[in-house]
Structure 1
């Protein structure tokens, strides 16, 4: 069998990551969590999560979500879905962003 046939039969294997944020009321703590295949990183703020992942704190003129998304993209992650939920009674807002990249 030729190499070209074998290469055409190979399927890309993916790994997935999920970012979840919860912004709550006075009774519910805010938190941001990134679930990676090899670890989970959590913080009480987007800035704290960026420090944990990228090693630097955003300055006041930078948008934390933009830095986070750029850091994920630089690591080979592609955003594939965003989901937001608003809870009127509890006055909370949650967001989930899903990423994928080829298994390395």
Structure 2
């Protein structure tokens, strides 16, 4: 029940938090329908209890620099190779409609590069 409501709220980008024992809601304009508001009211006490028992992520101490995650370290390593970071730089995207002649497109790109 309450899990479904939380999943629905997350998918709608609705934020919930407890401040001084009260439930606070942050939602994009027009997101909260009367039905969703009724569901929140119906499960208000359960939501407050659930959010109050959740451990919040502690704030890290301010530092000059921070340790990289493994993903960040991997991207940095790849970027050190010749043209290593080119694959992660997407400057444009194209959407083609209808039939596409791949051979002609490939030749056109080769001419450009």
TM-score > 0.5 by shorter chain = no
Between 1 and 2, higher relative CO (CA 8 Å, sep ≥ 6) is seen in 1
Q: TM tier, shorter chain?
A: under 0.3
TM-score, normalising length from structure 2?
0.24
Larger Rg: 2
Higher relative helix content: 2
TM-score, normalising length from structure 1?
0.25
